[in-house]
């Protein structure tokens, strides 16, 4: 498990949901922001559910331990957390580790995406946060709410919203 101490390189968080807009945000971060020595942390928030597995219950409030990039493609590890990453996300993470020399980690939370990403920013703590935007119109955004709008207004670090 990675522990962060004062003086470490930047910790860049990317909210990832394995969708097209989440992958675009991750790719943007890798292409434009991540440099050698940075910690690139993929933040995954799964909906709350009735998890019977003891390990998930342990991490429900604090999130999972940091999962190293090498374990992302291990189906046994990902099944343990209830995560099903797609091939594109895995490829982008590998590129970040290989080309940029970044330390790539994943942290999984369960619950409301807005609240859990705000917690991640404060608890890890993150230097920057990158999120994707689905491009909801004004009416849909007013009815459904926008995670990216909420994060821009409520997190304590700089936020970059990558539009789809």
What is the tens place of the pLDDT at every residue in 73-99?
898 888 888 888 899 999 999 988 888
pTM (two decimals): 0.85
Listed by start position, the domains of the chain span 11-163
**Mean pLDDT highest for which of 12-16, 50-54, 69-73, 148-152?**
12-16
How many CB atoms are closer than 10 A to CB 13? 27
Region of poorest pLDDT, from 11-20, 41-50, 69-78, 152-161: 41-50
The pLDDT score that the predictor gives to residue 60 is 67
Taking a C-beta distance cutoff of 8 angstroms, is the pair 68, 42 a contact? no
Q: What stretch of H or E contains 29? A: helix 20-32
Q: Sorting pLDDT into bands at 50, 70 and 90, what band is 50?
A: low
Task: Give the span between the Cα atoms of 88 and 30, in whole angstroms.
Answer: 13
CA distances from 94 to 20, 49, 58, 69 (A): 17, 30, 29, 7
CATH of domain 11-163: 3.40.50.620
The pLDDT score that the predictor gives to residue 149 is 82
Taking a C-beta distance cutoff of 8 angstroms, is the pair 16, 89 a contact? yes
Question: What tens digit of pLDDT does each residue of 151-161 get?
Answer: 988 999 999 99
CA distances from 90 to 47, 55, 83 (A): 21, 23, 12
Task: Give the span between the Cα atoms of 40 and 46, in whole angstroms.
Answer: 19
């Amino acid at each position: 498990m990675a522990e962060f101490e004062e003086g470490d390189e930047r910790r860049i968080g990317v909210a990832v949901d394995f969708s097209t807009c989440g992958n675009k945000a991750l790719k943007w971060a890798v292409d434009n922001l991540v440099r050698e020595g940075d910690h690139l942390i993929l933040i995954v928030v799964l909906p709350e559910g009735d998890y019977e597995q003891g390990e998930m219950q342990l991490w429900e409030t604090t999130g999972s331990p940091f999962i190293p990039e090498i374990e992302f493609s291990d189906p046994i590890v990902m099944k343990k957390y209830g995560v099903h990453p797609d091939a594109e996300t895995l490829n982008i993470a590998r590129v970040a580790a290989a080309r940029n020399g970044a330390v790539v980690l994943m942290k999984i939370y369960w619950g409301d995406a807005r609240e859990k990403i705000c917690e991640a920013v404060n608890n890890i703590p993150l230097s920057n946060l990158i999120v994707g935007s689905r491009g909801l119109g004004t009416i849909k955004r007013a009815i459904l709410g926008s995670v990216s709008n909420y994060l821009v207004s409520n997190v304590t670090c700089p936020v970059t919203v990558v539009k789809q």
